[in-house]
Amino acid sequence: MTIDAERAPSPFWVFSLAIYGKPGVPSACLALQEKSGVDVNVLLFCLFAASRGRALEARDVVAISSAVEDWKTGVVAPLRGVRTLLKSPPGIIAAPQAESLRARVKAVELEAERLQQEALFARFSAASLGAPAAAGGGAQKNIGACEASLGASFDKQAVAALLAAFDTLAG
């Protein structure tokens, strides 16, 4: 399945921008990415599914992750690596030029993440995943499914920040 980059953003992308803009969410996502190996786009998709009333199991998260693994490892992660390297560029490159390049790489990385999210939205109907969620319990359950799919133990403060942000969107 291919994505048309020119069409209107999906409800998933709109949801991601809304939740990522909430206080504490960027640092929570970064902590989970760095400490537990979370693909933030997959985590956000799990929360999006909860916003659509779906409770996921670890096997659902594995399927979601597998669908975008090649894109994540071949495109998103290398762009993130270059952007990170440019925070402290090799001395042969002047800092202002490196920062200019870093800003452009960051924009391309964000577009790569948007395309990953659009691909997830196109590939998986929220209604086709998991089961109907109990009232108010989908977000917690879906974060737990993400955690179980990685065999990780998520930082409790990061999870609390995500759940608080989710509640402000749902409420």
Pick from 168, 170, 155, 140: nearest CA to 28: 155
Could you read off the pLDDT of 98-137 as tens digits, one per residue?
999 999 999 999 999 999 999 999 998 766 788 878 766 7
**Burial classification of residue 80, based on how many CB atoms lie within 10 Å of its CB (0-12 exposed, 13-18 middle, 19 or more buried):** middle
* Residue ranges covered by each domain of the chain: 11-125+132-170
| Mean pLDDT across 71-92 | 94
Could you read off the pLDDT of 27-47 as tens digits, one per residue?
999 999 999 999 999 999 999
- The structure tokens 């749902």 sit at 170
User: In which element (H, E) is residue 110 found?
Assistant: helix 95-123
**Does the structure show a pLDDT above 60 at 7?**
yes
pLDDT at 2: 43
- The structure tokens 């737990």 sit at 144
SS3 call for 131: strand
Report the interhelical angle of 11-20 vs 156-170 (nearest 10°): 120
Query: Cα-flanking dihedrals φ and ψ of residue 135, to 5°?
Result: -50, 120
Banded pLDDT at 164 (limits 50, 70, 90): very high
In angstroms, the first-to-last Cα distance of the chain is 34
